[in-house]
Structure 1
Amino acid sequence: MATRTPAAEAVPAAFRTEFTGETYVPGDPGYDEARTVFNSMIDRRPAVIARCASAADVARALRLAREQDLEVAVRGGGHSVAGMALSEGGLVIDLSRMRSVEVDPDARSARVGGGAVMSDLDRATQPYALATTGGRVSTTGVGGFTLGGGSGWLERAFGLACDNLLAADVVTADGRTVRASADENPELFWALHGGGGNFGVVTSLTLRLHDLPVMSIALLLLRPENGPEAVRTYRDVLESAPDAAGGASIYITGPPEEWVPEALVGRLVCGVLMTYAGPVAELRDVAAPLLALEREADVITEIPYADLQCMLDDPPGMRNYWSAEYLDGLPDEAVSAYCAGAATMPVPSATQHVLFPMGGAVARGSADYPLPWRSSPWAVHPFGVWEDEADDDRVREWVRRVRAAVMPWASGAVYLNFIGREGQERVVSGFGEDAYERLSRVKADYDPDNVFHLNHNVKPSVAVV
C-alpha cells in the first residue's frame, strides 16, 4: 500500500464522497503520471490533483482550494511551455476526463469538453467533412489553445480558433457556472477571445465548423544553403495566394522517414510546407513557383486534415523552450536574418525554426479582440525541443538570438500561446495596452482575488473610489 503523505489531509473525506472524479496526492498510485506535462523541464509536486468529471466537480475543487488556501492551476492539455498547468504545493484542476466532442453537422458546430485535445476534435469532425482552426499538433488542448487566440494551419482560410468561438461555459472563482456568448455575459465572451484562462475554468466550448472536403499539402526538403531562395519564393507565393493556402517554412533535423534521402537524416534541412484547404490540383497551381525549385525530397498529396495535424507531433518527454516575434514585413534582409538563425540551431534535435505566414482571414478578423498580433503578416517562432539537460543553456540562448536577429522588423505584439514566462511587459504586448486595461476590468468582475494567476496573467483592476 502506498505511503500516505500529510498532503492527503488536504482532501477531506466529505470532499472525496461528493467529488465524482479522481483525486491524487503525493504517494498515490498514478500521482506522478498525473503531474507529468508536455515540457519535461517542469517538475512540480501539487498537493492535490483533482481530475474532474463535470463542471460540478470543478466548483467543488475550487471550494476545496479556498478552504485549504491552495494555489489553483488549471490543466487542459498540459501543453503550456511554462508549465502553467501545475502548481507547486497547490491544487490542480485537471480537465482531462472532460474530453467529449458533440458535433452538430446541421448547425456546423461542435461542443467540446474543456479537457479535449486537438485530435479529439479533429477526429470527431472529420467524418462530416467539417473542421475548424486547430493547433498544429494533435496533443494541444483545445481550451487553452482557443482562449489564447488559436493559430493553426487553417487560420488564413477560417480565422483564428477564437474567431470561431460561439459560446463557452465557465466556472468562476466563486464556484458559479456562467454562460458566455454574444448574448450572455458579452464582456466575458469578448475577454475569452485571446484573454486566456484568466477569468475562470472553461468546462466546454462551442465552436463554429467549416466545410473541408479535402486538404492538400506540398512539403519540400532542401539543403540549408538553398533555404534563403526557397523562403523568398515561399514569401512571394503566400503574399499573393488565396486564403486557402497556408503552411510554414521550417528548418528541422532531417527525420528518418522513407521519403527522406539518407544523406539528409540527422542533418539540418530547410523544409517548406504549403497547406491548402482544397484539392491538390489547385495547390499545384498556386505553388507552381515553389515546385519549380530544385529540392532533395518532397511529399505532394491530399491528406485528411486530422492526419496533417499529427505530422509534426512533438515526441513526449522532451525539454522545451519557445518564443516568437511577429513581423510587420518580410523583406529580403529579414529572410536572410531568419535563415541565418538556422546555422546555430541545435542539430540533431527535435528543435524547429519556423516562419509562419499570417494574413487572410486572420487579418480580416475582429480588430476589437485583444489580439494585436493578428495584423502582422509574418511570425518567426523558434521552437526549442531537446532531450539532454546539458543543452539547456545552449538552446535557450539560440532562441534568444533568433528573436534578437529579427527584432528590426518586429511589431512588438506577440501570440502568448507561443511563449513561456517572459515578463509582464510581454504579457501586455500580447493584448495591447488598451485591451489589457479592459481585460483587467473583466478580471475584477469575475476573479477579483486573482485566483487564476498561473497563466499569462491579467491582474484585476482596482476600483477608484
Structure 2
Amino acid sequence: MKKVKLTGRIVTPDDPGYEQARTNNNLNNPKYPRVIVFCQDTKDVINALNWARENNEPFRIRSGRHSYENYSLLNKGLVIDISDMNDIQLNLQEMTVKIEAGANLGSVYRVLGEQGVTIPAGTESSVGVVGLTLGGGIGMLSRPFGLTCDNLIEIEMVGVSGHEGATVIQANRHKNSDLLWASCGGGGGNFGIVTALTFKLHPINDVAIFSITWGWEDFERAFDAWQKWAPYTDERLTSQIELKSKEIGEIVAQGEFVGSASELKKLLRPLRKTGAPRNVWIKEVPYLKAVEFFDIPSGNQPALRKRSGSFIERPFPHAAIVQMKEFLAKPPNRNTTIWQQSLGGAVGQVAPNRTAYYYRNALMAQEYNTSWKKPKEEEKNIRWVENVRRALSPYTTGDYVNFPDRFIKDWLTAYYGRNIRRLREVKSKYDPLNVFHFPQSIPPNRKWL
C-alpha cells in the first residue's frame, strides 16, 4: 500500500522559519511541534490528516493563532495550519460570500467593505474567521446582525467518520444539518478541519462610532449606567466597556451604530449625563474606518497573556461592581482590565437550542484580561484572573468557548450549557473514534474503538 506523504509548505525545527511558524498570539505555555504543515488546498489537508493517522502522530489544527490556551499547538506532533488557504469569493447577486477558513478578519473586512457589504464578526484583525465563527462570533455588529455563526449558510470540512481515510463533508440546512448546527457555537477543532465557510452578507455604508472616558472616581456610576443601558438600547447599536486598572484610572465605553451621528448622540444621553466624563466624541465614518478604530494592535501581537470570561444574564448588583473595582485597584500589573460587550438584540432573538451557541439570554459577554513581560510574573497574573472569575461567579454564568480557560473544572457545561448532550451526539456521529481531540475537546458519547 502506498504511503501517504505530507504536501504543502512544511516547516520543521531545523528550518530557519520554525520559530515564527510555531509562535502563537499567546506566548504563555509555549509548545514545540515536530512538524508544521501549511496547507495550500483541501488536498493538502486530506494528506496531512491521513499522514497523521497512518503514522499515529498526534496533531492539532490551527488558523489564526489566537487560541487563548494554545490548544492549536502541541509538543512534538503535527500542526495542520490552514492560514495559507485564504481565498474570498464574493457573490453580490446572491449576497453571499465563500471564505476559505484560513482568512483573517482584517482581510475579510477589507475585501467585503470595499464592495459595501460585511459580515458581523470580531475586532482584532489577525483573528481567524473560522475559529471565531465556530465558537459563535461576537463583535461590534452583533446586536443588529447577530453572531457570526448566525450568518453561516454552509461549511466544508475534512473529516473522518470511521477507519477509512479523510473525506470532504458539506454541511448546510439541507445536508448534514446537525453538523451545521454544531458548527454554530460548538467550538473549533471538535468535529473535523473546516476548510471553507459560506455566509450571508449585509449591506453596510457609513456608521457612527463613539467613545466616552471617565476617571476612576466614576467607576461605579459609569459601569452601572452602561450595563443598564447597553443591552436595552436601539438594536442597531453595539457597545463595549473596558474597566482599566486604578493606575491607568480610566473607564472607556465605545460602540458602533448602524445609523447617523445625530441619532447616536440622542441614544447616548444616559451615558453622557453620568458622572463627569473626561472625553466624549461621536463621529460618522466609512465602515472600514470603524473596523480600523476597533482593531486592537496590541491584541494582534504575541505576548505573555491570560484571559478568561463569563456571561452576565442580569445586571450586576452594586456589590459585584465594587468587587471589580477592588480587583482593579490591586492588579498584578497596570495593563490588567475587565471588559464587557453588550449582547441582546439579534443575538437574543434566537432560541438557546437553535444553534450550539447556548447563551442567547445573556445581556453581556465578559472577559478578564492580563498580560505581562517576564515569565516569572506568570503565576500572580494567572492567580488574579482565576480569583476574579471565582469572585464574580455568583453573578455570572458559563464562559464563551472562544475565551477558553484550562482551570474551569466543568468546562463542557460552562461552554455549551444544555446543548452539550446534542453536541456529544454530533461528535459521536462525525468523529466516533475521537480523532479530533485536545485538552478541552468535546468527547463522543460512547467509548471509541
Task: With the length of structure 2 as denominator, give the TM-score of the two structures.
Answer: 0.91
Residues of 2 paired with 1:424 and 1:179: CA distance? Answer: 34
395-404 vs 57-66, greater mean Cα deviation: 395-404
Change (3 A) 1:216 1:312: farther
1:302 — aligned with what? 284
Q: Report the residue type matching 2:107 in the other structure.
A: D
1:102-146 deviation digits (Å, cap 9, x = unpaired)? 222222222111111111111111112222221121111110110
2:344 — aligned with what? 359
1:180 — aligned with what? 171
Aligned 1:113-152 pairs, distance under 5 A: 113-152=100-139
* Secondary structure, counterpart of 1:116 in structure 2: coil
* Secondary structure, counterpart of 1:339 in structure 2: helix
Aligned pairs, number:
436
Match status 1:210 vs 2:202: yes
Q: Report the residue type matching 1:444 in the other structure.
A: S
1:416 — aligned with what? 401
1:314 — aligned with what? 299
Change (3 A) 1:33 1:311: closer
Q: Report the residue type matching 1:271 in the other structure.
A: V
* Secondary structure, counterpart of 1:448 in structure 2: coil
Aligned 1:328-339 pairs, distance under 5 A: 328-333=313-318, 334-339=320-325
1:248-304 deviation digits (Å, cap 9, x = unpaired)? 1102369xxxxxxxxxxx723111113212222221110012123422224422343
Change (3 A) 1:199 1:246: same
2:373 — aligned with what? 387
1:247 — aligned with what? 239
Q: Percent of aligned pairs with the same residue?
A: 28
Q: Report the residue type matching 1:432 in the other structure.
A: G
1:427 — aligned with what? 412
Change (3 A) 1:140 1:315: closer
* Secondary structure, counterpart of 2:220 in structure 1: helix
CA apart distance, 1:312: 5.8
Change (3 A) 1:14 1:448: closer
1:5 — aligned with what? none
Residues of 2 paired with 1:14 and 1:405: CA distance? Answer: 51
Change (3 A) 1:321 1:217: same
Q: Report the residue type matching 1:183 in the other structure.
A: H
Cα contact 2:351–2:360 (8 A) shared by 1: no
CA apart distance, 1:315: 5.3
RMSD: 2.2
Match status 1:199 vs 2:180: no
Cα contact 1:101–1:113 (8 A) shared by 2: yes
1:407 — aligned with what? 393
1:344-379 deviation digits (Å, cap 9, x = unpaired)? 234432x33112222111111242222222211123
Match status 1:272 vs 2:253: yes
1:177-214 deviation digits (Å, cap 9, x = unpaired)? 01010011111111111112211000010112212212
Change (3 A) 1:424 1:170: farther
Where structure 2 has 5 or more consecutive residues not aligned to the other structure, the ranges are: none
Match status 1:56 vs 2:9: no
Residues of 1 paired with 2:417 and 2:31: CA distance? Answer: 31
Residues of 2 paired with 1:347 and 1:278: CA distance? Answer: 38
Cα contact 1:72–1:451 (8 A) shared by 2: no
Residues of 1 paired with 2:107 and 2:305: CA distance? Answer: 24
Cα contact 1:247–1:273 (8 A) shared by 2: yes
1:341 — aligned with what? 327
Match status 1:378 vs 2:364: yes
Change (3 A) 1:337 1:105: farther
Residues of 2 paired with 1:415 and 1:445: CA distance? Answer: 24
1:4 — aligned with what? none
Where structure 1 has 5 or more consecutive residues not aligned to the other structure, the ranges are: 1-11, 255-265
1:232-261 deviation digits (Å, cap 9, x = unpaired)? 22123224311111111102369xxxxxxx
* Secondary structure, counterpart of 1:417 in structure 2: coil
Residues of 1 paired with 2:137 and 2:51: CA distance? Answer: 31
Change (3 A) 1:14 1:406: closer
1:447 — aligned with what? 431
Cα contact 2:186–2:423 (8 A) shared by 1: yes
Cα contact 1:251–1:271 (8 A) shared by 2: yes
